[in-house]
Chain A
C-alpha cells in the first residue's frame, strides 16, 4: 500500500528554498537595523520578529488565514492582481512560512551583526567605503557562521512546518500538501507504511541539517 508520491517531497524542498531565499533578503536589512539601532522601536520590532517562535502555530495560522483569504488585507490585493487567492495556493504557504521561520533567520543574523567588532566597521567607513560596501565586504564576511546558521535553521524549520500550512494551505496536492501534511494524511488513512517512509525522510533531513549546523559552527566559530 505504501505508494510514495514524490510530489510532497519536491514541494517541501521548493517551499523551504523559497522561504530561505526570501528570509535572507528580508533578514539581512532587518537584522542590521535591529543590531545597530538605539531606538526603542527596535525592541518592539525584535519582540515581534521573535513572536512566531513562541506563538502556537494555530494562532499564527488563524491570523494568516484571515489576512490571506480573498477578503483579507493581503489576500484581496493578490486576488485582484492574479485572479486567485493566496489561501490554498503555494504562494500563500510561502508567505506563511516566511513569517513562521522569521526568528530562525533574524536571531542568528542579529547576534552575528552584534559580534562583528565595531572598530573594523568604523575602519572601513573611515577608509571611504559606503555603508552598503562595508556590509557586503566587511561585516557579512566576518559573520559567515551566523549567516549559514540562519540559512540552515530557516530551511530545516520550514521543512517540518505543519500547523500553519494545514490552516492556510488546505491540503492540496502539488500546491500545499507538503511532507508533514502527507504524514498526517497517511496516519488518518491508517496507511502507516507511507507515514513511516515520509516521517523517516523528515527525521533524516532534520538530523542532517543539525549535523551541518554544528559542522559550520565548529569550522567558523570565532
Chain B
C-alpha cells in the first residue's frame, strides 16, 4: 500500500515537473499570454500557467507561501519588498514601464481626448478606476487625476476595480461610462476593436516601473529560470512593445 502511494506521488510530481506557475499583474493579461504561448511553442516540454490579479494581491499571496514560481508586478516596489523578505530569490528586475489611458467604448458620445474635462460631463455617471490600495495602475490613475486637479470633483463617481483588467471590464460591459486603464489592455485586439483611448502624459503620475522575480517556490523548479530569462529575449520584447510598454534599456 505504501509503495503504491509513493508510486502515485511520484507520478504526480513527474507529471508536474515542467509546470511553471506565474502570478502576473492584470495589465499583462494579453501581453504575457502571448509571450507565454510563444515560449511554450519554443519549449513544448514546459507548461506556463498564468494567474492574473492585482499586484498587491499577488504580493500578499507570494508572502503567504502561494505556489507561484515567478511573480510579475506592475510596481517594482512589491518585488523589492518580497526580495528583502526573502520570498523572492532573484534581484528585482525591471521588465517594462507601463502607461495609462482614458478609455471608453467606440459607441460612447464621450471623447477621451477631452480629458480631464470629459470626466465632469454630466453624461458620465460612473468612472472605473482600479483600487489604488493594491493596484499600481489605480494609483497612477489617482495621481494623474490629482495632477489635473479633478480627483475630489469626480471621486463620488468612482467604481473601483479589484485590478486593472476588471476595471477595463467595467467599461467594456457598459457598467461604467469611462475609465482609466492600462495602455497594454487598450491595445489588446478585443479592446481595441471595441474602444477608443487617449494616452495620459507620463509626467502626470509616478512612472509605472514593473518588476519581476523568481520566488522561493520557483527556486525548486529548474525551468522557471528559462522562462525568467526569456522575458528579456528580443522576441518577448517585441510583444511587450506591441502592447505599448516602454522597455528597460530604451528609456529616454
The interface of chain A, by Cβ under 8 A from chain B, is: 1, 69-70, 84-85, 87-88, 170-173, 175, 185, 187-191
* Contact between B165 and A188, CB atoms less than 8 A apart: yes
- A70, A87, A175, A189 pick with most chain B CB within 10 angstroms: A189
B-side contacts of A1, CB under 8 Å: 190
Q: Other than the known A188-B52, A190-B190, what 17 A-B pairs have Cβ atoms closer than 8 Å?
A: A69-B64, A88-B61, A88-B64, A88-B67, A171-B51, A172-B21, A172-B51, A173-B51, A185-B52, A187-B169, A188-B166, A189-B165, A189-B169, A190-B169, A190-B172, A190-B191, A191-B190
Q: B29 at the A/B interface (Cβ < 8 Å)?
A: yes
A188 touches B26 (CB 8 A): yes
Closest CB in chain B relative to A7 CB, distance in Å: 10
Note all chain B residues with C-beta closer than 8 A to A172: 21, 51, 66-67
Report B44 CB to chain A, min CB distance, Å. 17
Contacts of B165 in A (CB 8 A): 188-190
Contact (Cβ within 8 A) A170 B61: yes
Q: Does B182 contact A (CB under 8 A)?
A: no
Interface SS of chain B: mixed
Which residues of B (210-226) have their CB < 8 Å from a CB of A? none
In Å, the complex CA distance between A69 and B52 comes to 22
Q: Taking the complex as formed, is B163 at the interface, i.e. its CB lies under 8 A from any CB of chain A? A: yes
Q: Is the CB of A189 within 8 A of B29?
A: yes
B: which residues have CB within 8 A of A? 21, 26, 29, 49, 51-53, 61, 64-67, 163, 165-166, 168-169, 172, 190-191
Could you show 7 A-B contacts with beta carbons less than 8 Å apart?
A1-B190, A187-B169, A188-B169, A189-B52, A190-B168, A190-B169, A190-B172
- Is B66 a contact of A170 with CB atoms below 8 Å? yes
Bound-complex Cα distance A1 to B34 (A): 13
B53, A171: Cβ atoms under 8 Å?
A: yes
Question: Across the interface, which residues of A come within 8 angstroms of B29, CB to CB?
Answer: 189
Min CB–CB distance A57 → chain B (angstroms): 16
Separation of A191 and B61 alpha carbons in the complex (Å): 25
Residues of B within 8 A of A188 (CB): 26, 52, 163, 165-166, 169
Using CB atoms, name the residue of chain A closest to B194: A190
Query: How far, in Å, is B76 (CB) from chain A's closest CB?
Result: 23
Shortest CB–CB separation between residue B92 and chain A, in angstroms?
A: 23
Q: Report how far A175 CA is from B133 CA in the complex, Å.
A: 28
A81 to B126, CA, bound (A): 50
Q: Which residues of B sit under 8 angstroms from A173, Cβ to Cβ?
A: 21, 49, 51
The residues of A that contact B172 with a CB separation of less than 8 Å are 190
B128 to chain A, nearest CB (A): 12
B24 to chain A, nearest CB (A): 12
- Look across to chain B and name the residue whose beta carbon is closest to the beta carbon of A85: B65
Q: Which residues of A are found within 8 Å of B65, using beta-carbon distances?
A: 70, 85, 87-88
Query: Which chain B residue shows the least CB distance to A185?
Result: B52
**Nearest A-chain residue to B166, judged by Cβ:** A188
Least CB distance from B173 to A in Å reads: 8
Question: What residues of chain B lie closer than 8 Å to A191, measured between beta carbons?
Answer: 190
Shortest beta-carbon contacts, A-B, top 6:
A188-B166, A88-B66, A188-B165, A173-B49, A190-B172, A190-B169
Shortest CB–CB separation between residue B211 and chain A, in angstroms? 21
CB proximity of B171 to chain A, nearest CB, Å:
10
Complex-state Cα separation, A188 to B26, whole angstroms: 9
Contacts A188-B166, A188-B169 given; indicate if A87 touches B64 (C-beta within 8 A): yes
CA distance A167 to B163 in the complex (A): 16
**Complex CA distance for A50 and B66, rounded to whole angstroms:** 31
Q: How far is the CB of A39 from chain B (nearest CB, A)?
A: 41
